[in-house]
Structure 1
Amino acid sequence: MSNLELKNVKAERFQTTDKKSVKSYISKFGSLLGLLLLCIALTFASSHFLTLKNIMNIARQSAINSLISVGMLLTILTAGIDLSVGSVLALSTCIMGVAVVKWGINPILAMLMCIAIGAFLGFLNGVMLTKLKLPHPFISTLGMKNIARGLALIVTAASPISGFPKAIQYIGAGFIGPVPVSFILVIIVFVLFSIFLNRTAQGRYIYAVGGNLEASKLSGINVEKTLILVYTLCGLMASVGGLVLTGRVNAAFPLAGLDYDLDAIAACIIGGASFMGGSGTVWGTLIGAMIMAVLRNGLNLLGVSADLQTVAIGAVIIAAVYVDVLRRQAEKKAKTQTV
C-alpha cells in the first residue's frame, strides 16, 4: 500500500471515529446533561433548591431507590425484570424487625439476616426462572411479589414494628458531617458494582447474556448460573435498601415498598439502560435515580401536588424509553448501511 493510500485509510478511520464518538458521548452523557439542566431550571425556579441542606436532603431521599435500582440494573442488562423488589424489601425488614424487637437478637446479626433473606428470595427468583424454564422473569418475580408480601403481612400480623436500636437507625438516619450515611453507602455500593460489571469476567458475562443469549450459550457462558447470580444480587440490594428505609423511619411495616419496583425500573431506563438488554451503566443508573429525586424535590418546593408529580415522573419515563427506541433504530440503520 502506498503512502497516499495509507493516509486516506487513516483519514477515513479518524473521521468515522469522530462521528461515532459524538454519538457515543451524547448517548453516554445524555442523562447527566438532563440532570444538570433540571438542576439549573429548579435553581432559577426556587431560591431554596440550591442550598447545602436541600442538596443533602435530595441525596438522602435518593438513597433507597439508588440501592434497589443498581440491583434492578443487573436484571435489565440480561433483558429481564424483577417485580418483587418492593415485597422482598418488606419481608426481609419485617423478619429483621421481629428478630430485633420481639426476640432481642443482636442488631448486627439481625441486619445480616435481613440481607441474607433478601439474597435468598432473589436466588429463588433466579432458580424459578432457570430451572422451571419459565418463559419470562415477569412470571417468577410477579409470583414472588405476592408470596413475599403475603408472608410479610403474616409475620407482622399486618402491623408495623418500631423501636429499633441506634445501630440500625444510623444507616438510614445518621450523618457524617453534613453528608447522610445512607448516601455514603450508595457511593460505596456503586463503586463495587462498577468494578464488578466492568472489571470481572462474570460482569462481562451479564452484558453478553443480555446482548445475545444464544451467542452466549455457544461461547460457553453458563447462562443459568449468570441469571441466578443476577437475581440473587437484585434481591440482596432490595434488602439493603430496606435497611436504609427501616433506619430512616425507625419502623418496619408489611406494606413498605409498594411502588419501589417501578421506581427502580424507571431509574435504570432514565439512566440509559435498555429493556432489550446488554446496555446500561451503574453510574447512569445513579444519575437516573438522582433525576427522579431532584424532580420530586423540585416539584415539592414549587408546591406541585403529589398527583401531578406522578404524572411528571410518568412522562419522564415515557420520554426515556422513547429515546432508547430512537437510539436502537439509529444503531440498526447504521448497521444496515454498513452492510
Structure 2
Amino acid sequence: MEPRIVTNKQPFSYKRFFLQWEWMLVLLFLAITVMNMNLSEFYWDYENLRDATMGFLDKAFIVLPMVFVIILADIDISVASIVALSSVIMADLFNRGVPLELAMIICLVVGTVCGWINGMLIVKYKELSSVIITLSTMIIYRGIAYMILEDQAAGSFPDWFSYLGWGYVGSIPFILIVFTVFAVLFSLLLHKTVFGRQLYAMGNNTTAARFSGIRVDRIKVIVFTLAGLMAAVTALFLTSRMGSTRPNIAMGYELDVIAMVVLGGISTAGGKGRMIGAILAVFLIGFLRYGLGLVNVQAQILLIIIGVLLIAAVAVPQLKRSNRLTRNT
C-alpha cells in the first residue's frame, strides 16, 4: 500500500497566476504610460521620469508598514501628524543650536515613540477601534506641532541636508535607492519570516491566532511602532525636499497612503494582500499624477480617477469571489 501524502500546495495554474490583482496593476500602469505619452511629449523622458520619483517617494515609506497595519485589519490615520511632529521637533531643535545630525536622530526617535504610543493604546483599550485611537492621536500630534511652531516655518538647514531629497547616486535619485532597500526588507519580513505568517494569521482571525500561541498584542505594538518610525523617515526626506517645515506639512498624506495600499490589493478586512501590489500602486498613482500634471489637469479630476481605481480594487476581488461561489453552488 502506497503512503498517502498530504500537501497544502495547489498545482500551478497559469490562469490563476495571471488573474492576480498585481497583473491588473501592471496593465493599468502600461495604460497610464501610453495615455501620458499621448498627452505630453515631455513625459517619456528619462530625466523627467527619474526626477518625478522624488515628488512622491517620501510618502511611499509609510506605505510599507501600512501594508502590515491593514493586513491586521487595523488602520493608522495618525501617520501624517507623526510626520509633522517629527519634522517640527527636528527643525526646532536645530534652530535652538542642536547639531542637525543629533536632531535627525531625535526625529526618528519621536516618530518611533508616537507609533509605540498608538500600539500600546490599541492593545490597552481593545474595546476601541484603531480608527478612533489613531484619530485621537492624529489630532494630538498635530496639535503639539502647532504648539511648538504655531504658524511659523522653521528651517535654514545646511546645504548637505538637501541631498536626502534632491541628491543622486550616479544618475539614480538617492531617495529611490533608500526606498528600494526598505521595500526589499519589508517584503522579506512579510513574505519570508514567521513574523509575516503571524500577521496573516492575525488578520484572518485574531482570536484563533491568540489561542494558537501568537503574541498578538506584542505584534500589534511592533507594527504600529514601525509605522511611526517610517513616518519619521518620511519626515526627514520631506523636510529635506522642502528646505523648511511647518506644522501643516504632510496634510492628507494618510489618505494617499491608505489609497495606495488598498489599490495595491491589500484587503481592508485583513489577512490578504502582498507587498508588491502596494509598491506597484505607489508608482502607478505617482506617475499618473506626474503625467496629468504636465498638461495641467485639475486636481479634482485626478481624485475622481483615483477614486474609480479604488472602487475597482475593492469590487473586482468581490466579483471573483461571487463567481466562484456561484460555480460551486
What is the match of residue 181 of structure 1? 174
1:292 aligns with 2:307: no
Q: Mind listing any 5+ residue stretches in structure 1 that lack a counterpart? A: 7-12
Summarize the Cα distance change of 1:197–1:256 in structure 2 as closer, same or farther, 3 Å threshold. same
One-letter amino acid matched to 1:337: N
In percent, how many aligned pairs have the same letter?
A: 32
- 1:301 Cα shift? 1.6
- Tell me how far apart the structure 2 counterparts of residues 166 and 25 of structure 1 sit (CA, whole Å): 48
User: Any unmatched runs of 5+ in structure 2?
Assistant: none
Instruction: Tell me the residue number matched to 1:10.
Output: none
**Alignment correspondent of 1:158:** 151
* Aligned-partner Cα distance in 2 for 1:311–1:290: 18
1:256 aligned residue: 249
How far off is 1:327 after superposition?
4.2
Distance 1:225 1:182, change over 3 A: same
Cα offsets for 1:165-200 (capped at 9, x unmatched): 234321112122332111111101101111111222
1:330, distance to aligned residue in structure 2 (A):
4.9
Q: Are 1:54 and 2:53 an aligned pair?
A: no
Aligned mates of 1:128, 1:169 — CA distance in 2: 36
User: What is the CA–CA distance in structure 1 between the aligned matches of 2:70 and 2:171, rounded to whole Å?
Assistant: 34
Deviation at 1:76, TM superposition (A): 0.4
Give the whole-Å Cα distance in 1 for the aligned partners of 2:265 and 2:105.
32
Q: How does 1:210-289 map to 2 (within 5 A)?
A: 210-289=203-282
Among 299, 314, 329, the alignment partner of 1:321 is 314
Runs of 4+ in 1 over 4 A off after TM superposition: none
- Rate the CA distance shift 1:330–1:84 in 2: closer, same or farther, 3 A: farther
Task: Determine the C-alpha separation between the residues in 2 that align with 1:260 and 1:35.
Answer: 22
**Structure 1 stretch displaced more, 242-251 or 313-322:** 313-322
Distance 2:72 2:104 in 1: 29
TM-score (norm 2): 0.92
Separation (CA, whole Å) in 2 of partners of 1:279 and 1:242: 29
**Contact conserved, 1:31 with 1:272, CA < 8 A, in 2?**
no
Aligned partner letter, 1:112 = I
**Residue of structure 1 in register with 2:87 after alignment:** 93
The one-letter amino acid of 2:167's match is G
Distance 1:197 1:50, change over 3 A: same
Shift of 1:18: 5.0
CA RMSD of aligned residues (A): 2.4
TM-score normalized by the length of structure 1: 0.89
Q: Note the C-alpha offset of 1:104.
A: 2.0
Equivalence map 1:10-159=2 (5 Å): 17=11, 19=13, 21-27=14-20, 28-100=22-94, 102-159=95-152
Relative distance call for 1:329 and 1:141 in structure 2 (3 A) is: farther
3-state SS of 1:297 partner? helix
Q: Partners in 1 of 2:236 and 2:312 — Cα distance?
A: 32
CA deviation string 1:219-277 (max 9, x = no partner): 10000001111111011111111111000011111001111000000111111111011
Instruction: Kindly state the Cα deviation for residue 79 of structure 1 after the two structures are TM-superposed.
Output: 0.5
Q: Which moved more, 1:135-144 or 1:166-175?
A: 166-175
Structure 2 counterpart of 1:337 = 328
Aligned residues: 325
Counterpart Cα distance in 1 of 2:176 and 2:88: 23
Contact 1:274 1:324 in 2 (8 A): no
SS of alignment partner, residue 245 of structure 1: helix
State the AA in 1 paired with 2:81. Answer: S
Q: Equivalents in 2 of 1:215, 1:167: separation in Å?
A: 51
User: Any idea what the Cα deviations from partners look like across 1:32-83, whole Å, max 9, x if unmatched?
Assistant: 2221221122223321111112211222122112111112111101001110
Deviates more, 1:67-76 or 1:320-329: 320-329
SS of residue paired to 2:19: helix
**Alpha-carbon distance in structure 2 between the residues aligned to 1:234 and 1:87:** 12
Alpha-carbon separation, structure 2, partners of 1:111 and 1:159: 20
Counterparts in 2 of 1:316 and 1:130: CA distance versus 1, 3 Å = same
Q: Which amino acid aligns with 2:61?
A: L
Pick closer, same or farther for the CA change 1:167–1:74 going to 2, 3 Å.
Answer: farther
